[in-house]
Structure 1
Amino acid sequence: MTYAGIQMFMDKLKQLLNCNDNPLFNNPSIICERPKFQLLYNELGSMIQTLFIYQHLDLHDIPKVDDLKKRFTDAAEEAEYVGDLFLSGVHLRNYGDFLTFEHFNRSLNLDDVMRTFKSVEMEFMSMRIDSMKVDSTQRPERTLKQPALTPAPIYISRNLLGSKKSLDEIFVGHDHDLELIRDKLVQDQKKLDVVSIVGMGGIGKTTLASKVFNDPFVVYHFHVRVWVTVSQTYDKRGLMIQILESIRAQLDLKKVSAQLDLEKASAELDLEKANAELDLEKASDSKLREMVHKQLMGKRYLIVMDDLWHVETWDNIKLFFPNGYNGSRILLTSRLTEVAKHANSNGFIHHLGYLNKEKSWELLCQKVFHDNEYPEWSIKPGMQIVENCQGLPLAVVVIAGVLSKEAWSKWFWGEIAEKTGSYIVGEQNGCLETLGLSYNHLPLHLRECFLYLGGFPEDYKFELQRLIWLWMAEGFIKQDGNRSLEDIAKGYLMYLIDINLVIAADRRKFDGVVKACKVHDLVRELCLRKAKEERFNILQTERLILSSPFSSFITPPHKPVRMFMNNDIDILEFAHPSTQNLRSILWFSDFRSLSDDIAKCFRSFVLLRVLDIQKCRLNDLPIGMELLVHLRYYAIWTTSAVFPSSICNLWCLQTLIYITKGLLFSSFIEKPMNLQTISGVVFGDGIDNFQNYFPCIKELTCPNYVDDFKSLTYLEKLKLIGFPRRRISTVHDSPKVFVKNRITFPATLKALTLADCCLPWRDMSIIQSIPNLQVLKLHKRAFEGSWWNTDGQKFPHLKFLRLEKLDLKVWETCSTSFLCLRQLEIIECGNLEEIPLEIGDIPTLDLIQIRRCRQSVGESVRRIEEEQHDLGNYDLKINVSD
């Protein structure tokens, strides 16, 4: 258990002692045990003050202090386990489940925990007395080999949150390789050809392929470019969906029209629209194959197949790709030469080599010092460091992450140079040892956050917001002053990205903020190895021997186990008493038979904190959800439109992701829920005062006839949805518009999306009064009217503005209306005549994107670009798609 986990446990105890409106807490069985809970709360607070809060710089036996801290946190974890089992037992008895209740403790037994607390406290006090007896001049001095154990600061660096060029874009030492691969791809050969990049893990295959994929000449040469990641856990259906989604994302009819006749281009558009309306997840495998073939036929395409491991995988997918004798290419990356040869024995195979010493040093300097001069003293230890990395870019990058935190410490560079000298990077084990240096320098409160990433599937792309919610639910985030846990968690993640253990995989275009991240395969292996060493129990079904599923996790029983499910198994195999320490289940594949089975397991999984089954599209909700009283994070995808009232009794719930169509909350909610995030839920007629039921809500989707949001003092994201016009049958059904001085928004609101609200443009004054609004998206029929004048309106902090499918014809504005705007998007506004030239004078504007608008709109944007070039502004980018 981390310090953050202890804090969360104490918050739970405080609620249990002081909350009088929770039926569970007022149960006689719990009331009679409140003195024990109070004693536990007091002891935890006292031990935290003793071991963590006070600075014991006079204690020379640091390892002994660390051992006492570990014994204390283990005892605190056992106390939580005992207490949670007791609460679950009482909860089950409340629901009349006396048979299951017999297997739980009927009384709260914390004797062993309290004895451990007392023993730790006495040993610590004895150390303090011994230290005071030792004359300070006789104490061994702290050598340079053992720096003080002060936690590293966690921060969000400017470079990570908003720079135009992030550190992960630095490309050193492979310029010749890039030119060679690019020339092979675009050479004049009509037959479909395969080009391969082969090399060990961490050598830079994916980085090189990405640079080739985004090379301007390659972008120009190919009509369609598709990137798919294959990896060891290959899924043919998922691969086809990746291809189709990639094609959708880059649809550009301008190129199609330039290469094909207008009639064929029109047919292309009809096909794209038909595919856009088809739910890929519901399509059969044969339909997906047909769609892939149609999308690629007739086009000169480039397919990047990243991280191919098996020849059988290639045999299964090669039939997807038609040979139109038009110069199409497939670019493979693999660690195995035999896979590349099997794909095309006569094709070009490029063996990616190691960086030389000079290029390794250049990469290290760019990562550590960015574009600044490096100190003269850093050359000697730095050269030793890069020599020990033996030209492996991943090792250089990760070591650079360690050094970047102590960039100007001569002693620290010497220390790292000495440590890397004992490792051989040419083999995977040696590389893992080198990467382990970065882990060893992580602050203690970040280690569990990092190890947690190893449980997810290979090449998994972490959505930033979801990962943060999971970390919070797992108890990894340490409270720090008045900052929200989400902000603190973002700082944790940015720190891991900053030291290159985590890769920023996707950034928002208008401000560079990280949206998604991933970890390299070798870093994931490091997570799993360190997790095993430190008994951070990760259970992966892809590595599981079902004959004895929990044999290695039975002792000690209070240690939490987290199960990551990536293949189809019988969940009932895990439903027995030894799984009471199972705290998390995360499912990554669509197994629709799960519903009935998991409902039968809830009595064995009563201590669950995290249940993520949103990949399993269920027809109905699992029965027995009310048993999971400790649940903090719940994600589900269901076709059921009935929201169960039992969820309101889950008093620990922080995050609810409920994906469905047509789900409505109604008036059955009887008491406030302590939810911080509700995603995928629409509020219904029965909740006009939903702020009374969800006071802590941060993200909300609701109909636009609700007009009072000011009391939601935590709300940051709001989506208002009206009724599509085709559903309006009478005057009484017409959408309600904002009433000036009545509709209210909280000052905390940062992102607002409107759709089908049919508002008059004059009501925009209500929106522009939101003081912290950064993102505004106006979708189909959000506003009605042909003229919008923003001259008298100011959006002081707005960074992103999207206008989509509006009937707007004339837009008048001035540059002072949008002082902070970074990105403007205009999509399918068929009546709009032009973009105001004043938009170009906005000093912060980086990008204007125009998609499927009138030709005159594109012409006006190009005039803006020319005018800005004449003024010396070449930072503004223009993207116009017919």
Structure 2
Amino acid sequence: MAVAAYALLVSLTHVLDDVHYRAQLRRLHVDIKRIESLQEGVNFLLEFLEVNHRSKSKKVGNLWRQISEVSLEVEEIFDFHVVSQLQKDSQEESSDMGAGSFNEDLDTMIQKINNIKSELSTVEEVVEDIPVGKQTRASVPAGGTSTAVSSVGKNAIVGLEEHVIKIKGELARYDGNLQIIPIVGMGGIGKTTLAKKVYEDKYAVDRFDVRIWITISQEYSVNEILQGLINDGKVERHCGNSDGPGEVLRKKLYGRRYLIVMDDIWTVQAWDDLRRFFPDNGNGSRIIVTTRLSQVADSLGSHDPYPMIFLDPNTSWSLFCQTVFAEEDCPHQELEQSGRKIVKNCRGLPLQIAVIGGLLAKSGMTTEYWESVAENVSAFGNASDGEHCLNILLLSYNNLPIYLKPCFLYMRSFREDAKIDVSYLIRVWVDQGFITIKEDKSLEELAKEYVNDLLDRNLLFVRDRDLGTEEILSCGIHDLLRDLCISESKKENFLCTPREQEIRPQSEERVCFLCSVSVTETRNFLALDVIPPSAWHCNPPVCGHCKVTYSHIKGLRFVKVMDKDGVAHDSLVQHTKLCYVSVSMHNPPKFISPSTLHLLWNLQSLIFKESEMVVLPSEIWELPQLRVIECKCVVFPKPPHAHVKEKDCFVLRNLQHLTWARNFELTGEILNGVPNLKELQIKYDKRMRESDTCLCNLARLQKLETLSVKNTLQNIGFPNSLKLLALMRCRIPWSGMSMVGSLPNLEFLGLFNTAEGSEWNPAEGEFLRLRLLAIVGSDLVHWGADQDHYPVLENLLLLNLPSLEEIPSGVGDIATLHKIVLRNCSKSAVDSACLILEEQRSVGNDILEIDVSDNSDYEVEDFDEDEDED
């Protein structure tokens, strides 16, 4: 319950922040001091949870439950009163009358939180005495033989032969200094099995005078580990002297060649606590460390981490057969089809293959049973022996800081083997309210750090990276870990408010208005409506899954925001707690005038996936929580006229992402209304292309990091904060690139049918931080450049440059350059690239790669759309 309580409290901090902001601007009638009192109470509970969330006390568990219930109740009260006041304001009715009841409800909530605080103070002393985890035991193999390794399958070494050879090579490598060899990978990937195989290999037995195996868990005692090592190492005769156990061990190892395996390290501190007892004898001693955490592996220093990856299909099948039959292949032809299906569903994770194989080895070899296992590998893998598999992975979950646990548990919402877009994942974590507010970083920056943290812990894995920027584009979660998310969510009672909705075109098929799945029932979900019953024929339908998932929700206020030709449809109904709305409609939706969009007061992401053009209503300026507006083409309105005292009322202080804004008029009032914009994509049609659209004013957006401009002939003002710039059909002469090159933070530059002229001679002192340069479509013939012009360039992409005579040879001397991609370029340019590669190979540069093709299948967005669009 601690994770559920924590997630709901963090979400509540965002609601309180928004209400406080609106109240300060006098857009809500509520006592600010009461809001601040609530904020103080919520922050206290958050701090208490962060310190004591591992407590297993039944009394504390009941308090976590109370916190969850109160958090949901507070959010419901805010939604009721805020929507009521906003609705009255839009109908030009006085909302002052509702302030009294609003304040009374807040008093009740403040008292409930104070009661919880009082109860927490009575158990605080007990909570502090509760152990946060099992004490780590040192397990040292007697007589130098390891007994402290995974018990899953004695034959589970298939697919490790190549790894064993590589690690043995590191043991034998001529380097007298003590070397630390980290093996890193997710739980169950085979790290311990590989280390065991190397540890017990005859070469290691013969080469090393002393071999010691240490298993270290999350909570460990240095003295306990050291004493266990000394005793099992048969050095008891030294234990009676005045030296401590660490010094005894150090003396034992001094002058001898030793191999130590430190299995399952969780922190750099664990290594630091023990490393001083391992002397560097200059004789080729080695320490192998296994860890799930890439950050820990990177910190060990003396050796690049050795990564463990998923098994390929053939190796997975071999491992499966070894585990089930102790043979290289399946001896029962009738079982092979279902067996291969089982292996495929294990997704290459050795531990799960071994667990499922162990179950099948003990079962009857019947086709029916194997087919039933194949239908639900996860269910069988989580039973009996399979519990061992999940328990190992559970260590990774339990080791997470509490702020990461809601994000990890949310991964259950993705389907098995899903390819998860990282930008979407970041957005949805923010919209769900999982990310804590910090003054020095945006929510998106923090969410990105959370993604990287889960990747470092091998709880997620990378699927795709951007070829140019190396940014992670998509990730995945192994099915076994997804099962863990599901089981832990149930234990935690990890409840969520429905905050996402995908709106699709109305059809004869009824779909759930929350998840868009087809439904056959038409029963009402909840009774409380903002829309009068006469406005549409019935409440929107909800599928059975959502009714169960959100059964704890007592009421939702529905609002009709978008409508085509004034006709209401179920598919165009939202509820006021929504944070993420995605609209999938070919015909551009029309907003009712005046719009009720502002009643979606929690809205943070507004996405139009298929609409060619959307004209937003002026009420968009009344959504200070809004962070993302995304569309193929969106007409952004001017802010409503406001008096001087109300100038801050129409500021989208959280808006960070706006695409593609059509004919965006960069006037002072608009730019002042989006002060924290970080990503902007704008384009102009032929009516606006040569008009005064004030693009020079872009320099005022001092937090803008990503800018894409399409179809303009104007001079553009670039803010110094830019990191990524894409210019498309902007008709800038090569001589004008000096203005771009002078941007101090620019790392990625894309010129798409933009630069004009046959010659480019960049000046020194430009593009000092540029990592990627893409030139797509140009009449460039002569390019005068060398390593001084792009000193940190990593990737060079040249596409559709038929006139370019050559790539300057000096470009090859850029020390950081590792890839040049050419598509549809002249033969002489390709020849020059090959010559650069040849020259670099001759001086020992094995990093640089050349990728050449005559086709245009390289993944670049098609920016050559019709210039005459209107």
Q: TM-score range by the shorter chain?
A: 0.5 to 0.7
One-letter identity of the residue aligned with 1:762: S
**How far, CA to CA, are the matches of 1:832 and 1:16 in structure 2?**
58
- Tell me the equivalent position of 2:457: 499
- Tell me the equivalent position of 1:650: 623
Shift of 1:820: 0.9
**How far, CA to CA, are the matches of 2:73 and 2:759 in structure 1?**
66
| Paired residues for 1:370-769 under 5 Å | 377-378=212-213, 403=266, 408=271, 426=359, 427-429=380-382, 430=386, 431-480=389-438, 482-510=440-468, 512-537=470-495, 571-573=540-542, 596-598=568-570, 601-602=573-574, 605-613=575-583, 615-621=584-590, 624-637=596-609, 638-657=611-630, 659-661=631-633, 663-667=634-638, 670=641, 671-684=650-663, 686-689=665-668, 690-703=670-683, 706-723=695-712, 735-736=713-714, 738=715, 743-769=716-742
One-letter identity of the residue aligned with 1:449: C
State the Cα deviation string for residues 657-689 of structure 1 (Å, max 9, x = none). Answer: 2x234x332435553223433342224254433
One-letter identity of the residue aligned with 2:16: L
The change in CA–CA distance for 1:633 and 1:102 in structure 2 (over 3 A counts) is farther
Bigger mean CA offset, 465-474 vs 72-81 = 72-81
Percent identity over the alignment?
25
Shift of 1:433: 4.4
- Tell me the equivalent position of 2:159: 174
The SS at the match of 1:817 is: coil
The change in CA–CA distance for 1:363 and 1:838 in structure 2 (over 3 A counts) is farther
One-letter identity of the residue aligned with 1:491: E
One-letter identity of the residue aligned with 2:758: S
- Confirm or deny: 8 A CA contact 2:215 2:263 kept in the other structure: no
**How far, CA to CA, are the matches of 1:596 and 1:125 in structure 2?**
53
The SS at the match of 1:872 is: coil
- Tell me the equivalent position of 1:182: none
Shift of 1:457: 3.1
- Tell me the equivalent position of 2:82: 87
The change in CA–CA distance for 1:855 and 1:645 in structure 2 (over 3 A counts) is same
State the Cα deviation string for residues 400-436 of structure 1 (Å, max 9, x = none). Answer: 99857787499999999xx99x988744212444433
Larger radius of gyration: 2
- Tell me the equivalent position of 1:16: 19
The SS at the match of 2:582 is: strand
Is 1:116 matched up with 2:112? yes
The change in CA–CA distance for 1:639 and 1:73 in structure 2 (over 3 A counts) is same
**How far, CA to CA, are the matches of 1:448 and 1:129 in structure 2?**
27
- Confirm or deny: 8 A CA contact 1:794 1:818 kept in the other structure: yes
The SS at the match of 1:719 is: strand
The change in CA–CA distance for 1:508 and 1:9 in structure 2 (over 3 A counts) is same
The change in CA–CA distance for 1:410 and 1:173 in structure 2 (over 3 A counts) is farther
The SS at the match of 1:680 is: strand
**How far, CA to CA, are the matches of 2:707 and 2:733 in structure 1?**
19
The change in CA–CA distance for 1:678 and 1:414 in structure 2 (over 3 A counts) is closer
**How far, CA to CA, are the matches of 2:199 and 2:117 in structure 1?**
46
**Of residues 767, 771, 782 in structure 1, which corresponds to 2:744?**
771
**How far, CA to CA, are the matches of 2:91 and 2:794 in structure 1?**
58
**How far, CA to CA, are the matches of 1:468 and 1:494 in structure 2?**
11
The change in CA–CA distance for 1:56 and 1:381 in structure 2 (over 3 A counts) is closer
Q: CA RMSD in A?
A: 5.1
**How far, CA to CA, are the matches of 1:364 and 1:597 in structure 2?**
67
**How far, CA to CA, are the matches of 2:419 and 2:839 in structure 1?**
40
Shift of 1:831: 1.0
State the Cα deviation string for residues 310-334 of structure 1 (Å, max 9, x = none). Answer: xxxxxxxxxxxxxxxxxxxxxxxxx
The SS at the match of 1:631 is: coil
**How far, CA to CA, are the matches of 1:753 and 1:363 in structure 2?**
51
Shift of 1:755: 1.2
The SS at the match of 1:72 is: helix
**How far, CA to CA, are the matches of 2:567 and 2:794 in structure 1?**
45
**How far, CA to CA, are the matches of 1:506 and 1:712 in structure 2?**
31
- Confirm or deny: 8 A CA contact 2:591 2:617 kept in the other structure: no
The SS at the match of 1:824 is: strand
The change in CA–CA distance for 1:474 and 1:19 in structure 2 (over 3 A counts) is same
The change in CA–CA distance for 1:127 and 1:106 in structure 2 (over 3 A counts) is closer
Q: Unpaired runs of 5+ in structure 1?
A: 132-138, 148-170, 179-206, 208-352, 366-372, 383-398, 558-569, 586-591, 724-734
The change in CA–CA distance for 1:582 and 1:773 in structure 2 (over 3 A counts) is farther
Shift of 1:708: 2.4
The change in CA–CA distance for 1:414 and 1:8 in structure 2 (over 3 A counts) is closer
The SS at the match of 1:767 is: helix
Is 1:847 matched up with 2:819? yes
Shift of 1:127: 4.0
One-letter identity of the residue aligned with 1:437: L
Q: Give aligned pairs, total.
A: 601
The change in CA–CA distance for 1:437 and 1:546 in structure 2 (over 3 A counts) is farther
Shift of 1:789: 0.6
One-letter identity of the residue aligned with 2:576: V
State the Cα deviation string for residues 335-382 of structure 1 (Å, max 9, x = none). Answer: xxxxxxxxxxxxxxxxxx9989855856999xxxxxxx9x95446789
Shift of 1:172: 9.0
Q: Unpaired runs of 5+ in structure 2?
A: 137-155, 164-185, 201-207, 218-261, 275-288, 294-350, 360-379, 499-513, 529-538, 642-649, 684-688, 855-870
The change in CA–CA distance for 1:693 and 1:77 in structure 2 (over 3 A counts) is same
- Tell me the equivalent position of 2:799: 827
- Confirm or deny: 8 A CA contact 2:157 2:194 kept in the other structure: yes
Shift of 1:868: 0.3
**How far, CA to CA, are the matches of 1:805 and 1:428 in structure 2?**
54
Shift of 1:821: 0.6
**How far, CA to CA, are the matches of 2:436 and 2:422 in structure 1?**
18
The change in CA–CA distance for 1:68 and 1:815 in structure 2 (over 3 A counts) is same
Shift of 1:747: 2.6
Shift of 1:85: 1.9
The SS at the match of 2:434 is: coil
State the Cα deviation string for residues 3-35 of structure 1 (Å, max 9, x = none). Answer: 57645644543553455685642xxxx24x555
- Tell me the equivalent position of 1:78: 73
Bigger mean CA offset, 680-689 vs 808-817 = 680-689
The SS at the match of 1:828 is: strand
**How far, CA to CA, are the matches of 1:477 and 1:462 in structure 2?**
19
- Confirm or deny: 8 A CA contact 2:625 2:655 kept in the other structure: no
Shift of 1:642: 1.9
**How far, CA to CA, are the matches of 1:595 and 1:497 in structure 2?**
47
One-letter identity of the residue aligned with 1:696: N
One-letter identity of the residue aligned with 2:679: E
**How far, CA to CA, are the matches of 2:524 and 2:211 in structure 1?**
55
**How far, CA to CA, are the matches of 2:700 and 2:806 in structure 1?**
39
